[in-house]
């Protein structure tokens, strides 16, 4: 039945036209447990979900993965979904075990309200199906308060209201809703959406788990600081010890063991050896180079005002951004002055490099001459964001300007050293660098890495192209 609020809600009608045959919007994905997990920021995922066309979207967390392992129908529902959204630290860790990093963890209790805010701005309507009697109505009020402009097409409980599937579908379709949120619990909600996908009129159907209970205040929610630290499961365990012990302690342990086995099955021997070399080399380098680190830190502090370390967003494997660490070799206003200096670049192509860059400090020139400024990236290697050998990580604005061919260099992890670095660095133009990086991505091997590491010492001492 349709739902209305005397002051806030109006009867919903279809306000946008869309083709049910339109293809699903394209978003980056990462493979995990036979699924295509969305690897995009919340904004990108929301844009894709609300693009014209009919699509079915589900969330994946550790609990879902454990159920999927036993329930073939549920596994099939996720495998055939238009989009599977990563929800929770478990999924993020499972992907890291495979050497991949998520662009964003799309926690449902934060993501869905954000989705509704954008939907409200577009004048779209939503139908809430699920929860105990009265819960969907309270959740609808909460969503409307968070997303002005959002139109509530109707609500229906997940008990008596879900007993007659045909009646539920008739009510949903008659409401003219653009978006359907189903909160029947995992895996029931996902099976219900999948089984009835061809009969449902809303262009977007999304399983949302316990979201209605959170919005209605039936279930307390972890404080924002706890969610930001990604430790919500510990907080939840302390609040609901009996119910959550099996799910979060035994369940998470089971999931992590399965994720580890999956990572080993997916990883080639070469990948495992490369990661082993990365860890061994980075740990050894941190120990051996600690005096150099200390001397550089003191010199930077004495030479100019500002922090010792410099953090900058770079683009890594599969296009995922990450913070790269360096010793600061420039004055603290360097980023603000970059645009004005672009025309002075000594290097052809997209990537900026200037031999006489006025932003570089006195000690910075020395650090760059011997590549000491790059040493903190050993921490990036330990974190798994970089490798010892690989293409240099590019700036977001550089990647945005890449021709399609150049994107192939991001098929492998970026590295501290590589073919470009040992062949002349900044003296090599953009096109030639791309040729080198693509050649490495296609022919990488442990032997090639060992050769490039050995050649790096000669390149550092020679200093060619280092400025």
pLDDT bucket at 14, cuts 50 / 70 / 90: very low
* Distance of alpha carbon 136 from alpha carbon 149, whole angstroms: 18
Q: Which helix (H) or strand (E) holds 289?
A: none
CA distances from 285 to 326, 376, 393 (A): 15, 10, 20
Average pLDDT over residues 314-325: 89
Asked whether the predicted pLDDT for residue 237 surpasses 50, the reply is: yes
pLDDT bucket at 359, cuts 50 / 70 / 90: confident
| pTM for the whole structure | 0.65
pLDDT bucket at 183, cuts 50 / 70 / 90: very high
pLDDT at 344: 57
pLDDT at 236: 57
* Distance of alpha carbon 365 from alpha carbon 70, whole angstroms: 59
* Distance of alpha carbon 95 from alpha carbon 260, whole angstroms: 10
pLDDT at 3: 35
* Distance of alpha carbon 44 from alpha carbon 358, whole angstroms: 37
* Distance of alpha carbon 53 from alpha carbon 218, whole angstroms: 34
pLDDT at 2: 36
Q: Where are the domains of the chain?
A: 29-216, 269-462
* Distance of alpha carbon 85 from alpha carbon 61, whole angstroms: 9
- Region 29-216: CATH code: 3.40.50.10700
pLDDT at 161: 96
Question: For residues 162 and 130, is the Cβ–Cβ distance under 8 A?
Answer: yes
Specify burial of residue 303 (Cβ count, 10 A radius: 0-12, 13-18, 19+).
middle
Average pLDDT over residues 107-130: 96
The closest alpha carbon to 389, from 285, 233, 243, 275, belongs to 275
Q: Which of 47-51, 354-358, 368-372 has the lowest mean pLDDT?
A: 354-358
The torsion angles phi and psi of 290, rounded to 5 degrees, stand at -55, -40
* Distance of alpha carbon 457 from alpha carbon 124, whole angstroms: 60
The closest alpha carbon to 253, from 32, 30, 34, 65, belongs to 65
pLDDT at 323: 93
The most confident of the ranges 3-12, 103-112, 435-444 is: 103-112
- 6/338: higher pLDDT: 338
pLDDT at 465: 47
Site of tokens 């342990």: 253
Asked whether the predicted pLDDT for residue 350 surpasses 80, the reply is: no
pLDDT at 360: 87
């Amino acid at each position: 039945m349709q739902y209305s609020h005397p002051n806030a809600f109006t009867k919903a009608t279809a306000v946008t036209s869309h083709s049910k045959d339109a293809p699903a919007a394209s978003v980056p994905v990462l493979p995990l447990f036979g699924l295509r997990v969305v690897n995009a920021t919340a904004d990108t995922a929301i844009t894709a979900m609300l693009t014209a066309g009919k699509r079915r979207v589900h969330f994946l967390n550790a609990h879902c993965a454990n159920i999927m392992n036993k329930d073939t129908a549920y596994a099939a529902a996720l495998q055939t979904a238009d989009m599977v959204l990563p929800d929770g630290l478990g999924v993020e860790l499972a992907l890291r075990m495979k050497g991949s990093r998520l662009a964003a963890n799309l926690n449902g209790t934060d993501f869905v309200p954000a989705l509704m805010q954008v939907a409200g701005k577009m004048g779209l309507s939503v139908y809430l199906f699920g929860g105990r009697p009265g819960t969907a109505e309270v959740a609808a009020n909460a969503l409307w308060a968070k997303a002005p402009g959002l139109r509530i097409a109707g609500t229906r409980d997940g008990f008596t209201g879900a007993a007659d599937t045909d009646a539920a579908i008739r009510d949903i379709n008659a409401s003219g809703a653009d978006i359907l949120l189903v909160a029947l619990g995992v895996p029931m909600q996902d099976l219900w959406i999948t089984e009835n996908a061809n009969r449902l009129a809303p262009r977007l159907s999304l399983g949302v788990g316990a979201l209605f209970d959170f919005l209605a205040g039936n279930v307390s929610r972890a404080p924002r600081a706890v969610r930001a630290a990604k430790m919500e499961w510990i907080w939840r365990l302390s609040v609901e010890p009996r119910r959550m012990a099996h799910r979060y302690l035994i369940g998470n342990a089971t999931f992590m063991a399965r994720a580890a086995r999956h990572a080993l099955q997916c990883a080639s021997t070469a990948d495992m050896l490369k990661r082993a070399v990365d860890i061994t080399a980075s740990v050894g380098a941190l120990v051996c180079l600690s005096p150099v680190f200390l001397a550089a830190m003191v010199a930077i502090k004495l030479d100019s005002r500002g922090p010792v370390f410099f953090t900058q967003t770079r683009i890594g494997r599969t296009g995922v951004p990450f913070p790269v660490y360096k010793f600061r070799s420039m004055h603290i206003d360097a980023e603000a002055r970059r645009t004005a200096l672009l025309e002075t670049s000594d290097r052809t192509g997209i990537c900026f490099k200037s031999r006489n860059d006025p932003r570089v400090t006195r000690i910075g020139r020395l650090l760059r001459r011997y590549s000491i400024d790059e040493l903190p990236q050993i921490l990036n290697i330990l974190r798994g964001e970089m490798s010892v050998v690989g293409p240099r990580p590019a700036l977001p604005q550089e990647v945005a300007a890449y021709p399609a061919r150049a994107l192939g260099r991001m098929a492998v992890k970026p590295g501290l050293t590589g073919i470009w670095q040992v062949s002349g660095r900044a003296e090599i133009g953009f096109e030639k660098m791309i040729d080198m990086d693509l050649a490495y991505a296609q022919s990488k091997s442990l032997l090639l890495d060992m050769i490039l590491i050995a050649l790096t010492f000669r390149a550092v001492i020679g200093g060619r192209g280092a400025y």
